[in-house]
Structure 1
Amino acid sequence: MKDWIKAHPDLWEFIKFNVLSNIATITNFIVLWIGSSFLFKAFAGQPFDWFIFHYPVKNGGLNGFLSFLLAYVCAQIVNYIVQRKLVFGAENDISKTLHWYILTVVVAGILSIVLPPYTTAIFQNWGMSLGWAQTCANWVNIFVQVAVNYPMMKFVIMK
């Protein structure tokens, strides 16, 4: 295994990035479920429609928006710590790259907050309950986040 890792360091790094991202993924799902089931449940009957964010009641309403937002923020905090220490072993000055991480998180975050009502509706049209549809929508978000975060972390933030 050590020889393979030496021969394929970039592939090994990408594998570690994805495997260890599961710590953030688990955080994301736990916070999503806590948010939608407890913290913001009182807002489930209130639609949320502001700017580019459209969360009708049938797709979770304000409850869904706040739950996805909180889950994303918590997961990104966990992800930064894990990726910096365990994947990239970055020792660069955080103050010089933190703005790039925040920009990356905001861009991926906007995508992750805009997409859920649409993907949730698609999954509901396929016959899923709201809870399962939101869970699947969260998987879509995670794939989008990897597509945005990995190149930025590798080539800019954790360089």
Structure 2
Amino acid sequence: MKEWIAKHPDLWEFIKFNVLSNIATITNFAVLWLSTNFLFTAFSGQDFHWLIFHYSVDNGGLNGFLSFLLAYVAAQVVNYIVQRKLVFGAENDISKTLHWYILTVIVAGILSIVLPPYTTQVFTSWGLSLGWAQTAANWVNILVQVAVNYPMMKFVIMK
């Protein structure tokens, strides 16, 4: 294994990035489920429309918006710590790159908050219940986050 890793360091790094991202993924799902089922249930019957965010009651309403937002923020805090220490072994000055991470998190976050009502609607139209549709929408969000986060972390934030 050590020989293979030595021959393919970039591929090994990408594998570690994705495997260890599961710690953030688990955080994301745990916070999403806790939020939608306990923390923000009082907002389930309330639509939420603001700028580019459109969460009707059928797509989770304000409960869905707040839950996806909180789940995303919690996962990104966990992800930064895990990726910095265990994947990239970054020792650069955090103060010089933290603004790039925050910008990356904001861009990926906006995408991750804008997409769920649309992807949730697609999944419910395929016959999934709202809960399963939100879970599937979260998987779409995670794929988008990997596509945005990995190149930024590798080449800018933790190089």
Residue segments in structure 1 that go unaligned for 5+ positions in a row: none
Residue 150 of structure 2 is matched in structure 1 by 150
Structure 1 counterpart of 2:134, one-letter code: Q
Structure 1 counterpart of 2:97, one-letter code: T
Residue 84 of structure 1 is matched in structure 2 by 84
> What is the CA–CA distance in structure 1 between the aligned matches of 2:38 and 2:87, rounded to whole Å?
34
Which residues in structure 2 correspond to 1:98-137 (within 5 Å)?
98-137=98-137
Residue 69 of structure 1 is matched in structure 2 by 69
- SS of 1:49 mapped into structure 2: strand
Residue 52 of structure 2 is matched in structure 1 by 52
> What is the CA–CA distance in structure 2 between the aligned matches of 1:61 and 1:70, rounded to whole Å?
14
Aligned-residue sequence identity (percent) comes to 84
Structure 1 counterpart of 2:121, one-letter code: A
Q: In the TM superposition, what whole-angstrom CA distance separates every residue of 1:4-38 from its partner, at most 9, and x where no partner exists?
A: 00000000000000000000000000000000000
Q: In the TM superposition, what whole-angstrom CA distance separates every residue of 1:126-159 from its partner, at most 9, and x where no partner exists?
A: 0000000000000000000000000000000001
1:15 aligned onto 2:15: yes
* Alpha-carbon shift at residue 122 of structure 1 (Å): 0.1
> What is the CA–CA distance in structure 2 between the aligned matches of 1:151 and 1:41, rounded to whole Å?
36
Structure 2 counterpart of 1:80, one-letter code: Y
Structure 2 counterpart of 1:133, one-letter code: A
TM-score (norm 1): 1.00
Structure 1 counterpart of 2:22, one-letter code: N
- SS of 2:49 mapped into structure 1: strand
Residue segments in structure 2 that go unaligned for 5+ positions in a row: none
> What is the CA–CA distance in structure 1 between the aligned matches of 2:42 and 2:141, rounded to whole Å?
24
- SS of 2:54 mapped into structure 1: strand
Residue 29 of structure 1 is matched in structure 2 by 29
* Alpha-carbon shift at residue 65 of structure 1 (Å): 0.1
> What is the CA–CA distance in structure 2 between the aligned matches of 1:39 and 1:31, rounded to whole Å?
9
Number of residue pairs matched by the alignment: 159
Please provide the CA RMSD for this pair. Answer: 0.2
- SS of 1:128 mapped into structure 2: coil
> What is the CA–CA distance in structure 1 between the aligned matches of 2:144 and 2:5, rounded to whole Å?
27
1:43 aligned onto 2:37: no
> What is the CA–CA distance in structure 2 between the aligned matches of 1:133 and 1:41, rounded to whole Å?
17
TM-score (norm 2): 1.00
> What is the CA–CA distance in structure 2 between the aligned matches of 1:51 and 1:99, rounded to whole Å?
24
Structure 1 counterpart of 2:104, one-letter code: T
Give the ranges of 4+ consecutive aligned residues of structure 1 lying more than 3 Å apart after TM superposition. none
